[in-house]
Chains A and B, each alone.
Chain A
Amino acid sequence: QKEVEQDPGPLSVPEGAIVSLNCTYSNSAFQYFMWYRQYSRKGPELLMYTYSSGNKEDGRFTAQVDKSSKYISLFIRDSQPSDSATYLCAMSHSGNTPLVFGKGTRLSVIA
């Protein structure tokens, strides 16, 4: 079993839809959880960062971490065509260990 599992999609939604992206993981020691967004032919950029369990909201984006289920989610409200990108979850178990990435989910928001 891979440490981090993420459905690669592709996921296609109409503009204005609520998007739900998810990752599951096997290492219960993970404490730092991040979502990166990667546009085509660009480097990943940090979207959301969460430490331990709970929710975090930033504008149209909400990140949720459920450590008991080893499950993290990213919700995008009122999705826009500019949200079309690959979304990668990433996590690590301490401040000194490198990030382990999911394979990324490719999202297309259709106008």
Chain B
Amino acid sequence: DTAVSQTPKYLVTQMGNDKSIKCEQNLGHDTMYWYKQDSKKFLKIMFSYNNKELIINETVPNRFSPKSPDKAHLNLHINSLELGDSAVYFCASSLQQGGATEAFFGQGTRLTVV
């Protein structure tokens, strides 16, 4: 049973397109996250949702819009894709917010903008 699953695993698209990445967790966790991992493997938080409410919104262009229809799902929509958006995007979840509990990561979505 996959705990945190993301789709698609790979996404290749042209500049200017709009795309979505979906994430689902079956762990019953309250908090979900989106992280971006760049080509140098640096993992940086983008958004955090707790019980469908946006808690953290780091300095991310407003072309990125997260949506949480329920506690188990957190999707990421990206408008007007740019070359610099190419990265691996990881969804994660944890029982509580922040560093007090383990975060479980999905397998990642490798986004390539051409």
Spot the interface stretch: B11-19, B42-50, B67-75.
B42-50
- In the assembled complex, A46 has its CB within 8 A of some CB on chain B: yes
- Minimal Cβ-Cβ distance residue in B for A106: B41
- In the assembled complex, A94 has its CB within 8 A of some CB on chain B: yes
Spot the interface stretch: A11-19, A36-44, A58-66.
A36-44
- Residues 70-107 of A, flagged 1 when their CB comes within 8 A of B and 0 if not, give 00000000000000001010111111111101011010
Question: Chain A's nearest CB lies how many Å from the CB of B54?
Answer: 13
- In the assembled complex, A34 has its CB within 8 A of some CB on chain B: yes
Question: Chain B's nearest CB lies how many Å from the CB of A15?
Answer: 24
Is A43 a contact of B106 with CB atoms below 8 Å? yes
- Residues 22-41 of A, flagged 1 when their CB comes within 8 A of B and 0 if not, give 00000000011010001001
Residues of chain B whose beta carbon lies under 8 Å from any beta carbon of chain A: 4, 33, 40-45, 48, 56, 90, 92, 96-108, 110
- In the assembled complex, A45 has its CB within 8 A of some CB on chain B: yes
Question: Chain A's nearest CB lies how many Å from the CB of B44?
Answer: 7
Is A41 a contact of B108 with CB atoms below 8 Å? yes
Q: How far is the CA of A43 from the CA of B4 in the complex (A)?
A: 10
Q: How far is the CA of A37 from the CA of B4 in the complex (A)?
A: 16
Is B102 a contact of A46 with CB atoms below 8 Å? yes
Is A46 a contact of B103 with CB atoms below 8 Å? yes
Which residues of chain A come closer than 8 Å to B41, judged between CB atoms? Answer: 8, 38, 86, 88, 103-104, 106
Is A95 a contact of B97 with CB atoms below 8 Å? yes
Which residues of chain A come closer than 8 Å to B40, judged between CB atoms? Answer: 8, 103
Q: How far is the CA of A26 from the CA of B107 in the complex (A)?
A: 30
Q: How far is the CA of A44 from the CA of B88 in the complex (A)?
A: 12
Is A32 a contact of B99 with CB atoms below 8 Å? yes
